Chain A
Amino acid sequence: MKIITLKKVLTISILLSLLLIFVILLSVTMGSVKVPPLRSIRILFQSILGLKGAGSETERTIILSLRLPRAILAGFVGAGLSVSGATFQALLRNPLADPYILGVSSGAAVGAIIAILLGLGTFSFGLPLASFLGALLTIMVVFYFGRQDGKIHPHTLLLAGVIIGSFLSALIMFFISVSQKEELHTIIFWLMGDFSFSNARAILIIFPYILLGVFFLYLRSRHLNLILSGEENAVQLGVDVERLKLVSYLSASLITAASVSVCGLIGFVGLIIPHSVRLIFGPDHRLLIPSSALLGASFLIASDTFARTLLAPVELPVGVITAAFGGPFFIYLLRTRKVVKTL
């Protein structure tokens, strides 16, 4: 009889990790400055071993200081958004839930826009830090209104998130309408999701949140299966539901906050990756969470590589690419109804 085992999860995770490594290698060789694939790979491996043989100084800088950090960053964000999306879909029992559903992203946007308008965007940490603070503040406010007598009520939380999100959207529109032309361009790119703002050091801000968040959610993955058929159902099977909800909502929200703060609002990843994984591997979170993380990372690195190279030397915001993939894919899901019968 088919049941999910540690062996199955490990096998699939290893296969998806190989795919991820392949995508990263592909991504560092591609770009407006052509570095032949084999040479790029030699540069990568020699730098891992601490050697400095292959390639010119420029090529090494491009690959090791620009493309590799950007790919790693895109990987973390892709993994984070996918896992956070999968979690919100389970907790809110809503297949259309995405990482931004609780308004965390609007808070991040307000933080980022304020930083841009104040000219903080040019400091290396200014933009992501301001946006992360905006997101954290929003999480605090949403949870303050979404909790009653120590319990999280999903519908109240969702409403609080949506309403606070709309209020923040009004702020965003206000800021856009009063900003200057140059700032406007930056703001719009940020809102569409773009990695060109970030640098290697942004990884240091976000990776603890994403790693820890994904880890905590993975520890709860068996219980997330149970809450998929409702909170009462999970209680009947012995789950401490209030703790599960608190840890999971907060982890998913922090992952979203960290992801959004370094690259703006990248849409669709948190929707299409979890649904695709369910389509392939089934709804069990013990497999869904690691697979979504790895596949999401590969998907976003690939999308960002497209965004960099499609109209090189002009860079597109990566959000354009994910939406271009995501839109048609979602129509496909709607038409076939393979994943969710209620859509």
Chain B
Amino acid sequence: MIEVNSISFRYREDWALQDISFRVEKGEFVGVIGPNGSGKTTLLKILYRLLSPQKGEILFELAPIKRMERADIAKRIAVVAQETHLLFPFSVLETVLMGRSPYLGQLMFESEKDLEIAKKAMEWTNILPFSERPMDELSGGERKRVFIARALAQEPEVFLLDEPTANLDIHHQIDFLDLILTLNRERGLTIVMASHDMNIASEFCDRLILLRGGRIYKMGTPEEVITKENIESVYGCEVWIDQNPISGMPRISLLKKGGH
């Protein structure tokens, strides 16, 4: 579905990403992990062409995204990013309806059909009961669900998630990730998620891409990527890795320096 062919990107002098190549198949749940500044967010931004790489190209179903219209990209790829601060708060419904924007073109107003699609997205994410409330009165977890609903209203094939669980408590983390997993399993949505939380990545993703200093250090299943050697060499700190006793996936424990 997405084919990344040896892309390199730099903001100014230094390369932020170098010679990155990978493919994401339809219906996959791919995690991008790596330390701060390793290029996770930059990579996601390149996938929906907020940034354009200086070298290499990205194909979306064999078509270069460089030549796609902005609105066409937004019809196929939805982004749930770290939150931006809301200046003049819109209501939940108004926010979800913004997801219909790429389909409206020059049209100024949403149709009944757009409203139906927005309602369905709100049902899915269980936010219909407070659709009239202003966004700034919601909790962090509720707001996250609104942004998923907005992304769903775009009727995309791919979800790009950037640190989706940052500043959510564990209850809301699980709620959010279960919702994403359901979308992935039941609706066949392709998911690419950048995350700091390697335990979450290990638990939920089919495949992981581990970045170090703008290059792919290791790519494969969680069992292949999350090993003591890989993590210690990329992050430069000691960790303990065993298996989650329920799921059997790799599990990371942090260790105090010199405490063992």
Q: Is the CB of A1 within 8 A of B93?
A: yes
- Smallest beta-carbon distance B163→chain A, Å: 14
Using Cβ atoms and an 8 Å threshold, which residues of chain B touch A341? 89, 136
Instruction: Categorize the interface residue count of chain A.
Output: 35 or more
Choose among A3, A225, A238, A342 the residue that contacts B74 (Cβ–Cβ < 8 A). Answer: A238
- Smallest beta-carbon distance A323→chain B, Å: 24
Give complex CA distance A340, B87 in Å: 7
- Any A CB within 8 A of the CB of B50: yes
Choose among A223, A237, A283 the residue that contacts B154 (Cβ–Cβ < 8 A). Answer: A237
- Smallest beta-carbon distance A51→chain B, Å: 40
Q: Is the CB of B74 within 8 A of A221?
A: no
Give complex CA distance A230, B88 in Å: 12
- Any B CB within 8 A of the CB of A326: no
- Smallest beta-carbon distance B72→chain A, Å: 8
Question: Interface SS of chain A: helix, strand, loop or mixed?
Answer: loop
Q: Is the CB of A225 within 8 A of B90?
A: yes
- Any B CB within 8 A of the CB of A185: no
Interface string of B93-133 (1 = CB under 8 A from A): 11001110110101011100001000100000000000110
Give complex CA distance A173, B90 in Å: 43
Q: Is the CB of B79 within 8 A of A222?
A: no
Contacts across chains A and B counted by CB atoms under 8 Å: 92
Q: Is the CB of A340 within 8 A of B110?
A: no
Task: Tell me which residues from 1 to 51 in chain A have a Cβ below 8 Å from any Cβ of chain B.
Answer: 1-6
Using Cβ atoms and an 8 Å threshold, which residues of chain A touch B79? 236
Of listed B45, B98, B99, residue having the most chain A CB within 10 A:
B98
Give complex CA distance A2, B92 in Å: 11
Using Cβ atoms and an 8 Å threshold, which residues of chain B touch A55? none
Q: Is the CB of B74 within 8 A of A236?
A: yes
- Any B CB within 8 A of the CB of A278: yes
Task: Tell me which residues from 130 to 169 in chain B have a Cβ below 8 Å from any Cβ of chain A.
Answer: 131-132, 136, 154
Task: Tell me which residues from 46 to 70 in chain B have a Cβ below 8 Å from any Cβ of chain A.
Answer: 48-50, 69-70
Give complex CA distance A4, B95 in Å: 12
Give complex CA distance A108, B225 in Å: 63
- Any B CB within 8 A of the CB of A154: no
Give complex CA distance A67, B108 in Å: 37
- Any A CB within 8 A of the CB of B73: yes
| Chain B residue at minimum C-beta to C-beta distance from A2 | B132
Using Cβ atoms and an 8 Å threshold, which residues of chain B touch A89? 87
Of listed B45, B86, B131, residue having the most chain A CB within 10 A:
B86
Assuming the A-B contacts A2-B93, A229-B84, A341-B136, are A238 and B102 also in contact, with contact meaning beta carbons closer than 8 angstroms in the complex? yes
Task: Tell me which residues from 193 to 226 in chain A have a Cβ below 8 Å from any Cβ of chain B.
Answer: 219, 221-223, 225-226
Q: Is the CB of A226 within 8 A of B101?
A: yes
Give complex CA distance A5, B110 in Å: 8
Give complex CA distance A59, B91 in Å: 52
- Any A CB within 8 A of the CB of B78: yes
- Any A CB within 8 A of the CB of B81: yes
Q: Is the CB of B131 within 8 A of A1?
A: yes
- Any A CB within 8 A of the CB of B75: yes
Q: Is the CB of A237 within 8 A of B48?
A: no
Q: Is the CB of A237 within 8 A of B99?
A: yes
Using Cβ atoms and an 8 Å threshold, which residues of chain A touch B101? 222-223, 226, 237-239
Q: Is the CB of A5 within 8 A of B109?
A: yes
| Chain A residue at minimum C-beta to C-beta distance from B131 | A1
Q: Which 4 A-B pairs have the closest CB atoms?
A: A238-B74, A238-B102, A283-B88, A238-B71
Other A-B pairs, 4, CB within 8 Å; known A95-B88, A284-B90: A2-B132, A3-B93, A226-B101, A282-B91
A–B pairs, 11, beta carbons within 8 Å? A1-B119, A1-B132, A4-B94, A5-B109, A221-B108, A222-B104, A236-B79, A237-B99, A238-B70, A283-B88, A283-B90
A-to-B contact residues, CB < 8 Å:
1-6, 89-90, 93, 95, 219, 221-223, 225-226, 228-230, 232-233, 235-240, 278, 282-284, 286, 339-342
